């Protein structure tokens, strides 16, 4: 075969150099797709552990969760007089987030789960959160749940909400301002109010990766509830 002419019936086989170039192009394309998913706010399953930008602490308003059908999912949680409980501590990109970052997630030991005692409404949720989000932190289960506790203990629930004994109605911006007032250093662009069917479901607060302070998170802030009012069922 001369001058690159291929004989009829012969299959083209790349040289080692051509194969290497093809592989690099394929990897670059794959990286571009996954990066585009993150840039577009998508979920990146199986992303490298420890490679993220900041944390989101999601605090579930338990009465809202139960009013929105949560009793069918967790009777134990909805038979208790709970207020805010930890939903999760989530590694986050500036756009998008990683999940399920271990091919085989190590089950948290009893010692690891003891670090989560009193944070989650039940240990089943703690185990699930470790598999989906904790594996992306780059931490061991014990260190991850210790980080969850650190983030939770850094947040003061506004007194007017902590002392609730009857249903109340708030606007999303007033809820944010109440948390800002109770937590020095927190701003409204560092958190979001999540609601469904006009009922408060969660407050989500962004922390720096080292959990030493709060973090601006415009994408999360934009996805929060905006106008109108939000109902807070009492515990």
pLDDT along the chain (235 residues), means of 10: 50 68 55 45 90 97 89 73 94 95 84 93 94 96 97 97 94 96 97 94 97 95 86 92
| CB 94, CB 219: distance < 8 Å | yes
Task: Report the pLDDT value the prediction gives residue 70, as an integer from 0 to 100.
Answer: 78
What global pTM score does this model have? 0.80
Task: Report the pLDDT value the prediction gives residue 161, as an integer from 0 to 100.
Answer: 96
Which residues are CB-neighbours of 31 under 8 A, at least 6 positions away? none
Query: In a 3-state reduction of DSSP, which class is residue 40?
Result: coil
Which residues are CB-neighbours of 33 under 8 A, at least 6 positions away? none
How far apart (Å, rounded) are the C-alpha atoms in residues 200 and 198? 7
- Residues assigned a catalytic role: 87, 129, 133
Task: Report the pLDDT value the prediction gives residue 32, as an integer from 0 to 100.
Answer: 47
Task: Report the pLDDT value the prediction gives residue 228, as an integer from 0 to 100.
Answer: 87
Cα-only R_g, the chain: 23
Task: Report the pLDDT value the prediction gives residue 39, as an integer from 0 to 100.
Answer: 43
């Amino acid at each position: 075969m001369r001058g690159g002419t291929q004989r009829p019936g012969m299959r083209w086989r790349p040289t080692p150099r051509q194969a290497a170039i093809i592989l690099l192009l394929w990897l670059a394309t794959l990286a571009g797709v996954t990066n585009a998913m993150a840039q577009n706010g998508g979920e990146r399953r199986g992303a490298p552990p420890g490679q993220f930008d900041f944390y989101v602490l999601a605090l579930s308003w338990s009465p809202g969760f139960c009013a929105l059908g949560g009793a069918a999912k967790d009777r134990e949680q909805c038979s208790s007089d709970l207020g805010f409980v930890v939903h999760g501590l989530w590694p986050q990109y500036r756009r998008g987030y990683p999940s399920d970052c271990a091919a085989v997630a190590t089950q948290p030991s009893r010692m690891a789960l003891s670090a989560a005692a009193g944070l989650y409404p039940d240990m089943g949720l703690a185990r699930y959160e470790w598999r989906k989000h904790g594996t992306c932190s780059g931490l061991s289960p014990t260190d991850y749940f210790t980080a969850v506790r650190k983030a939770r203990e850094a947040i003061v629930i506004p007194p007017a909400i902590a002392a609730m004994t009857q249903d109340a109605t708030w606007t999303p911006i007033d809820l944010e301002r109440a948390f800002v007032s109770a937590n020095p250093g927190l701003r409204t662009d560092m958190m979001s109010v999540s609601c469904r069917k006009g009922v408060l479901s969660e407050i989500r607060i962004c922390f720096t990766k080292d959990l030493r302070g709060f973090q601006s998170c415009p994408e999360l802030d934009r996805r929060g509830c905006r106008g109108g009012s939000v109902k807070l069922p009492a515990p």
